[in-house]
């Protein structure tokens, strides 16, 4: 078994689960990466934003101050898993039929392992590239990154100065086997954590007559929001993705607000879910929290919402749409609160970094072509895009993984990655370093 597979297994077994509460133990994975890197001569900084929220930034300096600095950006935390729903132990990192099974194998501990080993190999070679190469393994991405990349950008900006960024997602093959298309994540939706706070009459639950409980109000709110089809808005990002990846007839329909829902209803489920999400604002109730007990009617309840927006939609649009869906009768019963948010972001594709990725990919998959993709979720790339960097989500997966299967595994059951994909990914980062070494001088 190769080193990238072994390191991925260790990272999965460390179970750095981030459910939004305190102390997910991300220092365990960072300490593993330190053990891999410390024999090298790179500059390494450790940043603890809070207990259990540890990030690492390693730098291999370049020799040309005018050359673009490249960051390999990865996160060490994973989302929770329900063992009873899995066919294998989600934190066992067992190998079956050439696949490592476990939470985070795709999102994104395989990237962490391969990026770290490729960076170590570069440093061990003693070869300096024109620009700096930065490896950032950060905390808290799964909780919107405020104590990870967000903390670094706000408090330690000097550590994360980069012009180009490569991070998670992308690299899954589609189309003809002899000339596959590989997606590169260029844009992502905004993410908003919203609370609808409800106040009501408390009391003993043995005396319910005449009392409208806060839970009954919350239940009606959840029902109305769950029945909403979302606020359609066809963004420039979606038009660009469709132009490169869909035939003209389909493209015309799925960029038409009046017709897109009709065609979504006829699509395969995995495709329909993606097209639906990328053509609108979505509002999903995820939790109802009360201050009550088993035998009392609560005085307070909160309906927690996960709102995802496309570019061109902001807070005013969110409030207006929630008001429309709930109606005056319910909307006047809630106090709406914005907890945290991340704006939608995008990077262009007419860049030198795009060309570099295309060249490096073809060193491994000769007839492959890159196509832009757009994510319904958000990544730490947004922090760097907001600082002016070009940031893409990319990797390189084998033919054993397909474009319909992968999205269902992310944050889902039975997440797994094959050993061949890990080897391909490690080679990809090395090819990128080789490509940088041969770029024209002073190019950005």
- 58 lies in the same domain as 120: yes
Can you tell me which residue has the tokens 């297994």? 9
- CA 400 – CA 351 distance, rounded (Å): 30
Residues 66, 45 contacting (CB under 8 angstroms)? no
- Could you tell me if residue 172 is inside a domain? yes
What per-residue confidence (pLDDT) applies to 192? 96
Q: Which of 284, 319, 342 is the last residue of a domain?
A: 342
What per-residue confidence (pLDDT) applies to 442? 56
Question: Mapping DSSP to helix (H, G, I), strand (E, B) and coil, where does residue 27 land?
Answer: helix
Q: Which of 293, 323, 342 is the last residue of a domain?
A: 342
- Could you tell me if residue 336 is inside a domain? yes
- Could you tell me if residue 443 is inside a domain? no
Bridge partners (DSSP) of residue 375 are 188
What per-residue confidence (pLDDT) applies to 403? 79
> The CATH number of the domain where 163 resides is what?
3.40.630.10
What per-residue confidence (pLDDT) applies to 444? 46
- CA 225 – CA 327 distance, rounded (Å): 11
Greatest extent of the chain over all pairs of C-alpha atoms, in Å: 79
- 260 lies in the same domain as 365: no
| Alpha carbon of residue 221 to chain centroid | 28
Q: For 292, list phi and psi in degrees, rounded to 5.
A: -90, 180
Q: Which of 292, 307, 342 is the last residue of a domain?
A: 342
- Could you tell me if residue 444 is inside a domain? no
- 309 lies in the same domain as 211: yes
- Could you tell me if residue 442 is inside a domain? no
- 355 Cβ contact partners less than 8 Å away, ≥ 6 residues apart: none
What per-residue confidence (pLDDT) applies to 404? 76
- CA 239 – CA 252 distance, rounded (Å): 10
Domain with 274 in it: 188-342
Q: Of the candidates 376, 381, 305, 382, which has an alpha carbon nearest to the alpha carbon of residue 343?
A: 382
**pLDDT of 110-148, one tens digit each?**
999 999 999 999 999 999 999 999 999 999 999 889 999
Can you say whether residue 126 is alpha, beta or left, with left for phi > 0 and alpha for psi between -120 and 50 degrees? Answer: left
Q: Of the candidates 108, 178, 244, 174, which has an alpha carbon nearest to the alpha carbon of residue 401?
A: 174
- 172 lies in the same domain as 215: no
Question: Mapping DSSP to helix (H, G, I), strand (E, B) and coil, where does residue 363 land?
Answer: helix
Residues 113, 444 contacting (CB under 8 angstroms)? no
- 301 lies in the same domain as 198: yes
Mean pLDDT over all residues of the chain? 94
- 269 lies in the same domain as 402: no
First to last CA, the chain: 39
Q: Of the candidates 229, 185, 207, 199, which has an alpha carbon nearest to the alpha carbon of residue 349?
A: 185
State the DSSP string of 124-149: HHTPPPSS-EEEEEES-GGGTTTTTH
Question: Mapping DSSP to helix (H, G, I), strand (E, B) and coil, where does residue 48 land?
Answer: strand
Q: Specify the number of domains making up the chain.
A: 2
Q: Which segments of the chain have a pLDDT < 70?
A: 1, 41, 441-444
> The CATH number of the domain where 220 resides is what?
3.30.70.360
Can you tell me which residue has the tokens 């609160």? 337
What per-residue confidence (pLDDT) applies to 161? 97
- CA 267 – CA 74 distance, rounded (Å): 33
- CA 77 – CA 294 distance, rounded (Å): 34
Cis check for the bond before 108: say yes or no (omega within 30 of 0): yes
- 89 lies in the same domain as 137: yes
- The β-bridge relationship of strands 369-375 and 181-188 is parallel
Per DSSP, 160 falls in state G
- 314 lies in the same domain as 369: no
What per-residue confidence (pLDDT) applies to 291? 86
């Amino acid at each position: 078994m190769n080193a990238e597979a072994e390191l991925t297994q260790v990272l999965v077994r460390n179970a750095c689960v981030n459910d939004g509460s305190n102390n997910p133990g991300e220092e365990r994975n960072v300490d593993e990466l330190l053990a891999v890197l410390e024999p090298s001569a790179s500059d390494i900084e450790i940043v603890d934003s809070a207990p259990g929220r540890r990030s690492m930034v390693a730098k291999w300096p370049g020799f040309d101050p005018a050359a673009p600095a490249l960051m390999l950006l990865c996160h060490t935390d994973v989302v929770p898993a329900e063992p009873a729903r899995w066919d294998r132990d989600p934190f066992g990192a067992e190998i079956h039929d050439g696949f490592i099974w476990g939470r985070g194998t795709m999102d994104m501990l395989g990237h962490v392992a391969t990026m770290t080993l490729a960076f170590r190999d570069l440093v061990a070679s003693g070869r300096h590239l024109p620009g700096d190469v930065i490896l950032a393994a950060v905390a808290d991405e799964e909780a919107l990154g405020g104590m990870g990349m967000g903390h670094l950008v706000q408090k330690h900006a000097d550590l994360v100065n980069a012009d180009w960024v490569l991070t998670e997602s992308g690299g899954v093959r589609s189309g003809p086997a002899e000339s596959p298309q590989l997606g590169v994540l260029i844009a992502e939706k905004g993410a908003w954590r919203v609370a609808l706070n409800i106040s009501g009459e408390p009391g003993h639950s043995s005396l319910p007559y005449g009392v409208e409980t806060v839970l009954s109000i919350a239940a009606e709110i959840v029902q109305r929001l769950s029945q909403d089809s979302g606020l359609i808005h066809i963004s420039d990002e979606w038009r660009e993705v469709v132009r490169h990846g869909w035939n003209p007839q389909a493209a015309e329909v799925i960029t038409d607000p009046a017709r897109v829902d009709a065609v979504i209803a006829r699509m395969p489920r995995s495709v329909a879910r993606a097209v639906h999400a990328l053509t609108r604002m979505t509002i999903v109730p995820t939790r109802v929290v009360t201050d009550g007990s088993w035998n009392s009617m609560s005085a307070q309840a909160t309906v927690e919402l996960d709102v995802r927006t496309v570019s061109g939609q902001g807070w005013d649009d969110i409030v207006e749409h929630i008001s429309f869906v709930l109606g005056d009768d319910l909307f006047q019963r809630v106090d709406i609160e914005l907890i945290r948010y991340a704006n939608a972001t995008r990077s262009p594709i007419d860049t030198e970094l795009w060309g570099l990725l295309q060249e490096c990919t073809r060193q491994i998959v000769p007839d492959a072509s890159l196509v832009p993709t757009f994510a319904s979720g958000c990544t730490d790339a947004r922090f760097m895009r907001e600082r002016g960097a070009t940031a893409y989500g990319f990797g390189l997966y084998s033919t054993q993984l397909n474009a319909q299967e992968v999205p269902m595994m992310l944050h889902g059951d039975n997440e797994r990655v094959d050993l061949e994909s890990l080897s391909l990914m490690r080679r990809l980062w090395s090819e990128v370093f080789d490509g940088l070494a041969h770029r024209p001088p002073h190019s950005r």
